[in-house]
Structure 1
Amino acid sequence: MENTYVLHDETKEAIIIDPGCYEAAEREELTSFIEANDLKVVRLINTHCHIDHVFGNAFVKKKYGVKLTIHQEDEATLKSVEVYAPAYGFQNFETSEADDFFEEGDQVNFGNSTLEVLFTPGHAPGHVVLVNQQQNICIGGDVLFEGSIGRTDLPGGDFDTLIRSIHEKLFTLDEKTTVYPGHGGTTTVGKEKVSNPFCALSK
């Protein structure tokens, strides 16, 4: 199970983040939502490029004619998926290439909305999160979960780097910030600062 996010505002412009849609039914669910809400997809983004977050990249790029943006440090992660996907049973995986790269502090704009890019490596070398501080929203990928954190035993992962990313980037956000993770339900920065067994700040 992986969370794909479609962000949109009153202008009907939308961005798709981490399309994990491999099966036809999953792709139909995504397109049906977009059509039902009369949205115009203007951009595709990966918070990071592990297989479960990029399954639908090629589909989305072809369907909506949009470019894929990632952090350059995760380009090798994206390219490696084509190599190992068959070993995991995904014989029909369609490869995709990044068209653009963003860096720390860049802005993602769509409609009247803006997200700030924060570089948060540790789970993956080029992991980013996307933040709207006015609305206290963080699209967090696989950095921070409710009561847990992203795994660090995959290539390019590093526990100390991940904890530093959480402390220096996510835990400096407003405590009311809702974190929308790549798996599972939402949580808040304030909750995880005091209760997360892996990264809570000591009193």
Structure 2
Amino acid sequence: MSKSAAIFCLLSIFAETNKRMAITVEKFTFNPFQENTFVVHDGSVCVIIDPGCYFAEEGEQLVRFIDENGLKPEAVLLTHAHLDHIFGCDYISKHYGIDAYMHEKDLFTLDLAERSATAYGIPGVVRPETPNKLLQGNEVLKFGEMEFEVLFTPGHCVGHVVYVNRSEDFVINGDVLFAGSYGRVDLPGGDMATLKTSIFDVMFKLPDTMVVYSGHGPETTIGQEKLTNYILQS
């Protein structure tokens, strides 16, 4: 093989490897709370994070996207168990026969699902089944070409976690940080001092360039929030 042919071959392998490694984050905004559900995939396998599909057409939209793109679901990941983030947990996990992951401390929040639905006037909500994979924090989860570091970030609720993908420089952050703001702490299990610790000692230690995908609203970055987030004034 000539030198130029060898170089071309190596470049082709490199390009194909990069193509396989590329990770896509697809966002869907669902339910009366306008919650962001994420399908994260490497072009082959996917995970569904915080499936908030409440209406039948929302669940159908999520399944249609997964199936039409030829993706193989491997897990449901929950950042936390507030009502708006778990509406579709049972539907998706049972439809695809996949594991569901959640921090063990948020069983407390999960148990409040039906009571919360009643308080918000949302009918037809039954407590989802307990996820079969309970987390403690600091795990590394691998699905296909994707790797997520699980960081424990309580404060918005007692068992909140975020899922960090360092190779692609993003975090699925649930309701810890929002663009310019932060998660509420006036629901059962919420605590402002604990949330501030999670933000300053965990989230703000992540790279400034890291993209933050929040449970509500638009994306932001760690660097932007370190400069402008309202938590800095509280």
| Partner residue, 1:142 | 175
Give 1:37-116 correspondences, 5 Å limit: 37-96=69-128, 97-116=130-149
- Extract unaligned runs of 5+ from structure 1: none
Percent of paired sites with the same residue:
45
1:73-104 Cα distance to aligned partner (Å, 9 max, x none): 10111121023323423322243222111122
1:89-131 Cα distance to aligned partner (Å, 9 max, x none): 3322243222111122101211011000000000010000000
Distance in 2 (CA, whole Å) between partners of 1:158 and 1:35 is 40
Q: Report if the CA contact (8 A) 2:182-2:230 is conserved.
A: no
1:117-146 Cα distance to aligned partner (Å, 9 max, x none): 000000010000000122110000000011
Amino acid of the structure 1 residue aligned with 2:86: V
Q: Residue 95 of structure 2 aligns to a residue in which SS?
A: helix
- Structure scoring higher RCO (CA < 8 A, sep ≥ 6) equals 1
Matched, 1:156 2:189: yes
Matched, 1:193 2:226: yes
Amino acid of the structure 1 residue aligned with 2:231: F
Distance in 2 (CA, whole Å) between partners of 1:59 and 1:71 is 20
| Partner residue, 1:27 | 59
1:129-170 Cα distance to aligned partner (Å, 9 max, x none): 000122110000000011000000000001111011011111
Q: Report if the CA contact (8 A) 2:101-2:134 is conserved.
A: yes
TM superposition score normalised by structure 1: 0.94
Structure with the higher helix share, 1 or 2: 2
1:11-45 Cα distance to aligned partner (Å, 9 max, x none): x1111110110101111110111011111111011
Distance in 2 (CA, whole Å) between partners of 1:197 and 1:90 is 30
Higher radius of gyration, 1 or 2 = 2
Distance in 2 (CA, whole Å) between partners of 1:153 and 1:94 is 23
> How many residue pairs were aligned?
200
| Partner residue, 2:200 | 167
Q: Post-superposition, which runs of at least 4 consecutive aligned residues in structure 1 deviate over 3 A? A: none
Q: Report if the CA contact (8 A) 1:75-1:98 is conserved.
A: no
Q: Residue 90 of structure 1 aligns to a residue in which SS?
A: coil
TM superposition score normalised by structure 2: 0.82
- Extract unaligned runs of 5+ from structure 2: 1-33
